[in-house]
């Protein structure tokens, strides 16, 4: 994995832990997403949220086909969840984003856990 991707990944994990420590579990995904994006920006990373990902079907491009939660440094995808348990569909969603964007790395972060370390899943394309 390129060094700049690993640096961004490390910052994402640290920022997620900081947000979880401050807010705890039980809130809406949208709030965790906004706070995490803020924390990553504060730490000097380029962050885009709710990034539209076009989907081509039968030769027609649907510009708003998919929407990923956070794109970090144009090299790392972060999907934010606040669910009782991560499901295979959540993993499939992230893996699809990585494939469509040709991104090397992504995180599935579930903030509805007692310790953030339990809610971090790292995926490579």
**Mean per-residue pLDDT of the chain:** 96
Backbone Cα Rg of the chain: 14
> Can you tell me the distance from the alpha carbon of 125 to that of 107, in angstroms, rounded to the nearest whole number?
11
> Can you tell me the distance from the alpha carbon of 72 to that of 54, in angstroms, rounded to the nearest whole number?
18
- Residue in this structure with the two tokens 């401050």, named with its chain if needed: 22
Specify the DSSP class assigned to residue 74: T
Res 25: pLDDT:
97
Q: What is the pLDDT of residues 11-35, one digit of tens each?
A: 999 999 999 999 999 999 999 999 9
Phi, psi angles (nearest 5°) of residue 7: -65, -45
Q: By C-alpha distance, which of 52, 53, 43, 33 is closest to 8?
A: 43
Question: Which domains does the chain carry?
Answer: 3-124 (3.40.1350)
Q: What is the pLDDT of residues 55-106, one digit of tens each?
A: 888 999 988 779 999 999 999 999 999 999 999 999 999 999 999 999 999 9
* CA torsion through residues 53, 57, 63, 65, sign: negative
């Amino acid at each position: 994995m390129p060094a700049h991707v690993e640096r961004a990944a490390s910052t994402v994990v640290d920022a997620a832990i900081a947000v979880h420590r401050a807010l705890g579990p039980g809130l809406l995904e949208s709030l965790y997403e906004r706070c995490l994006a803020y924390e990553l920006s504060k730490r000097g990373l380029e962050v885009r949220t709710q990034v539209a990902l076009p989907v081509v079907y039968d030769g027609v491009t649907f510009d708003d086909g998919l929407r990923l939660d956070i794109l970090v440094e144009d090299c790392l995808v972060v999907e934010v969840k606040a669910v009782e348990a991560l499901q295979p569909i959540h993993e499939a969603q992230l893996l699809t984003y990585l494939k469509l964007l040709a991104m090397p790395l992504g995180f599935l972060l579930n903030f509805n856990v007692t310790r953030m370390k339990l809610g971090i899943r790292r995926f490579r394309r």
